[in-house]
Amino acid sequence: MNIFVLMKSTFDTEEKIVVKDGRIDDDGAEFIINPYDEYAIEEAINQRDTNGGEVTVVTVGNGDSEKQLRTALAMGADKAVLINTEEDLEQGDQFSTVKILEAYFESKEIDLILAGNVAIDEASGQVGPRLAERLTIPYVTTITALTIDGDKVSIERDVEGDTEMVESTLPLLVTCQQGLNEPRYPSLPGIMKAKKKPLEELELDDLDLDEEDVEMKTKTIEIFLPPERESGKVLEGDIDNQVKELVTLLKTEAKVL
């Protein structure tokens, strides 16, 4: 099977995020594999081990993304591809990313593409479905189980706290949700092997694309942090008095009643 994973490097939300002039300060940000993409990488490795084939992890970004690709290789992926847009594209959006990926996959034989359900930085959830539409292959989002038998695929997907059963055929694109698996940590042997695994770097020219072809369709005006939460209040006394005080606070302070 030819299995591909769409990976994105995102800033680590557990680290302190600094916003400067309406932008996230990259110099002070720690970048990681988008957590939802880790489920996709893990599932791709599991499916390869069950059904054979190889796993290729693909990302669109800059040279710094090589670190996250090496981590994916250390987890067990076979190959990695960095489509480096640093020289040609100052900024991109979902349209730009899909246009680039479409050009990359144009000459590839695809059985399965996996992606994260969303990226934790923008959380649009658009890239996977839009790419599937451009490649004219079926797609299923927010999957929590995946079984492949020949070219037939059985899927469980999360739908607002419930589960939907879906059947499809290969080729197929899926986006992965928490609960699908437990992503592994790279082992020391895996890290050593990753240094020798192939990591191909491409640019827009290699895909016969110009800057005009991938020009953004949207523009981010400003990024800002949410206001700091005020400390809460602990209501004391018997239940009746607590309820009365709570209603008063909701009316006078929170102004939601």
Choose among 86, 54, 51: nearest CA to 211.
86
Percentage of residues in the chain having pLDDT higher than 70: 97
More confident residue, 198 or 256: 198
pLDDT at 154: 97
Residue type, 91: Q
Helix (H) or strand (E) holding 192: helix 188-194
Q: Write the pLDDT tens digit of every residue in 18-46.
A: 777 767 666 767 889 999 999 999 999 99
User: What's the DSSP call for residue 90?
Assistant: S
Distances in Å between the alpha carbon of 12 and those of 134, 142, 146, 179, 214? 30, 22, 28, 20, 27
Q: Give Cα 122 to chain centroid, integer Å.
A: 10
Domains in the chain and their CATH numbers? 2-214 (3.40.50.620), 227-257 (no CATH)
| Weakest mean pLDDT among 43-57, 76-90, 215-229, 243-257 | 215-229
Helix (H) or strand (E) holding 36: helix 35-51
pLDDT above 90: residue 211:
no
pLDDT at 28: 66
| Weakest mean pLDDT among 14-28, 94-108, 224-238 | 14-28
Choose among 155, 144, 145: nearest CA to 178.
144
